[in-house]
């Protein structure tokens, strides 16, 4: 795998997509940055983040917590870290959608901005996302809206990436 | 790709399955018919259909709106259009299920009738469907019933088709 | 396909995963045991199980009903049946989770015990499971808990198996 590639890893909940992305990152020469989009809003989330951080161990030089300004954080990190893992796109979309009553179109504009700046990032960037559209239509209108948003964002990101994997049962299927 | 093939394209919501099917159709020599199974029941749906129709542009000679009698419409269209795209099977199943209090077995009989008449259609027929069974079991009994129906219908159609794709993030995985 | 392999077949509801697993089993030299984890709690379930049993026909020498002690049943069956199909892992997880107020960690320990004893089973074992994590996050906390449990269990089992398939529309994608 050449350096500087942009890689998207999608999959369902507990599909092993993050572990797969992490192993891929750890096979590349570092230093490595882990860019977490999760917001620590309660103790449960805090413990979960701490556990994940411990699991990553010494192979990762820094954890950057950035729930909103993913674009800015990537541009700052790219000059220091040849490998950056973003975990995950779906939480980032959720954070933007829920803040400031953003509408899905505005959120998709931020996805477009991210895509525009990806080629300027010299690091290998491995982005983890969720596939959420393979169940029955949700009754909750917000869930339907988010499902559409995540699907559109994943299509845009996949088109902009060099390589795309779908992970199920911890095993990758190469889509691109 | 030879003409006259029967092709099934499945995927989740906003997976890019229709765009993939459309691009496949536009690479084949026309004229082309777009067979829409959506019913325009409100303004929102009307705008959406108009937007999709504008996106298809000049490559499509006709849009046939047929929520119920898919079989009859296909047989009529096949003598005029070498390429027919059906978008989508899942809405057609929904329309039949909701009309006249049909039960799932009757709906599956209509799927069987469609399959029986497919070999007689000389056109390439590209059918778009939804994979809806990869989430948690829905609490709503009607949703469970529809999930079963869609799954059985997709199995039957896939067995009858020459080629089957699963689309995720706008990218196809060839299943058959 | 060599004998003694451990095979996992995952897929959505009505994806044709059990039929695919059954056909795979029937191509191997028997005798064959069908290990059903479903509990017959009402007439509807009773009829469904009877219908499935009739469909399996003469190719299957025995149906073992075991909702809980999968490990013990496999060890007993392996000396008599060179081919054992387990249908399905997800129901087995549900049965354990709902009995005795087990928590997910205890259930995952039972998955670990199953994995530990798999290499000692000389039979080919074909296990059917469900992928349930590809929809929107469920609102029901128990559904979220089960989704996590099933995902973790599938990852563990897939890592321990020789071969893993994802089935959609009755068609298999080989994951491993």
Q: In Å, how far from its chain's centre is CA C94?
A: 12
Provide the ipTM: 0.93
> Which chain A residues are Cβ-neighbours of C143 within 8 angstroms?
none
The two tokens of residue B10 are 């499945």
Q: What is the pLDDT of residue B6?
A: 98
> A14 and C158: CB-CB below 8 Å?
no
pLDDT value at position A109? Answer: 95
**For residue A1, pLDDT beyond 60:** no
Contact C134 B137 (CB under 8 A): no
Q: Does domain A24-174 have CATH number 3.40.50.300?
A: yes
Is C54 in CB contact (< 8 Å) with chain A? no
Neighbours of chain B (3+ CB pairs under 8 A): A, C
Q: Decide: C38 and C52 in contact? Cβ < 8 Å.
A: no
Nearest CA in chain C to A91: C137
CA–CA min distance B147, chain C (Å): 7
Nearest chain A residue to B140 by CA distance is A139
Q: How many CB pairs under 8 A join A and B?
A: 74
Residue pair A132/A147 in contact (Cβ under 8 Å)? The answer is yes
pLDDT digits (tens, 9 = 90+) for C4-42: 999 999 999 999 999 999 999 999 998 999 999 998 777
Please tell me the distance in Å from A80's CA to the nearest CA on chain B: 30
A16–C148 C-beta distance less than 8 A: no
Q: How many helices and strands in chain C, by DSSP H and E? A: 6, 7
Among candidates B131, B169, B173 on the partner chain, residue whose Cβ is nearest the Cβ of A154: B169
| Whole-model pTM over 0.90 | yes
Q: Which residues contact A39 (CB under 8 A, 6 or more apart)?
A: A45, A67, A91, A95
Low-confidence stretches of chain C (pLDDT < 70) are 1-2, 100
- Alpha carbon separation from C151 to B127, C93, C164 (Å, rounded): 31, 11, 14
- Contact B41/A at CB under 8 A: no
C154 touches chain A (CB under 8 A): yes
The number of C-beta contacts closer than 8 angstroms across A and C is: 75
Distance CA A154, CA A130 (A): 8
Q: Does B22 touch chain A (CB under 8 A)?
A: no
pLDDT in tens, A18-42: 999 999 999 999 899 999 999 877 7
A36 touches chain B (CB under 8 A): no
Which of C111, C134, C156 is the best mutation test for A, with the most CBs of A within 10 A? C134
Instruction: Give the number of other Cβ atoms within 10 Å of residue C16's Cβ.
Output: 24
Sheet hosting strand B32-36, strand order edge to edge: B62-65, B32-36, B83-87, B124-128, B6-11, B163-168, B171-174
The pLDDT assigned to B153 comes to: 98
Which tokens go with C112? Answer: 């670990």
Query: pLDDT tens digits, chain B, 176 residues: what are they?
Result: 567 999 999 999 999 999 999 999 999 998 999 999 998 777 777 877 787 778 787 899 999 999 999 999 999 999 999 999 999 999 999 999 988 677 888 999 999 999 999 999 999 999 999 999 999 999 999 999 999 999 999 999 999 999 999 999 999 999 99
Whole-number pLDDT of residue C1: 52
Yes or no, beta carbons of B137 and C13 under 8 Å apart? yes
- Dist. CA C128–CA C122, nearest whole Å: 18
Chain C within 8 Å of A146 (Cβ-Cβ)?
yes
Q: Spell out which residues of chain A touch residue C174, defining contact as CB-CB under 8 Å.
A: none
A159: contact with B, CB 8 A cutoff: yes
CB A134 within 8 A of CB C133: no
Identified catalytic residue from B52, B56, B147, B156: B52
Q: CA of B159 to nearest chain A CA: how many angstroms apart?
A: 21
Q: Would an 8 Å CB–CB cutoff place A51 in contact with chain C?
A: no
CATH entry, C6-174, from 3.40.50.300, 3.90.1200.10, 3.40.50.12280, 3.40.50.10680: 3.40.50.300
Task: Give the pLDDT confidence of A96-144 residue by residue, as tens digits.
Answer: 998 867 788 899 999 999 999 999 999 999 999 999 999 999 999 999 9
- Cβ C135–A134 below 8 Å, yes or no? yes
Q: What whole-number distance in Å separates Cα of residue A49 and Cα of residue B130?
A: 35
Nearest chain B CA: its distance from A54 CA (Å) = 30
What are the domain boundaries of chain A?
24-174
The set of chains that have 3 or more CB pairs under 8 A with C is A, B
A neighbour chains, 3+ CB pairs within 8 Å: B, C
Instruction: Please judge whether A133 and B15 are an interchain contact, meaning their C-beta atoms are less than 8 angstroms apart.
Output: yes
Structure-token pair, residue B67? 């929520």
C-alpha radius of gyration, chain B, whole number: 15
Chain A residues closer than 8 Å to B11 by CB: 133-134
How much of chain B exceeds pLDDT 90, in percent?
A: 80
Cβ within 8 Å, pair A148-B15:
no
Mean pLDDT of A70-98: 95
Q: Across the interface, do B133 and C13 touch by the CB < 8 Å criterion?
A: yes
For chain B, helix (H) and strand (E) counts, in that order, are: 6, 7
Distance between CA atoms of residues C52 and C18, nearest Å: 10
| pLDDT tens digits along B96-129 | 998 867 788 899 999 999 999 999 999 999 999 9
Find chain C residues with C-beta within 8 A of A171's C-beta.
Answer: 158, 164, 175-176
How far apart CA B6 and CA C166 sit, in angstroms, is: 23
Local confidence band at A2 (pLDDT 50, 70, 90 cut-offs): low
């Amino acid at each position: 795998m050449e350096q500087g590639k942009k890689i998207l890893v999608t999959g369902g909940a507990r599909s092993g997509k993050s572990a797969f992305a992490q192993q891929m990152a750890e096979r590349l020469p570092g230093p490595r940055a882990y860019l977490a989009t999760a917001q620590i809003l309660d103790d449960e989330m805090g413990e979960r983040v701490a556990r994940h951080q411990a699991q990553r161990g010494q192979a990762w030089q820094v954890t950057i917590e950035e729930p909103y300004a993913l674009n800015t954080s990537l541009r700052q990190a790219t000059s220091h870290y040849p490998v950056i893992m973003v975990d995950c796109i779906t939480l980032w979309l959720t954070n933007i959608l829920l803040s400031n009553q953003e509408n899905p179109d505005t959120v998709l504009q931020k996805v477009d901005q991210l895509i525009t700046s990806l080629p300027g990032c010299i690091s290998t960037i491995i982005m983890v996302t969720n596939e959420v559209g393979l169940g029955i239509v949700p009754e909750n209108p917000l869930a339907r809206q988010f499902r559409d948003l995540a699907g559109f964002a994943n299509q845009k990101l996949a088109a902009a990436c060099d390589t795309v994997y779908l992970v199920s049962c911890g095993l990758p299927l190469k889509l691109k």
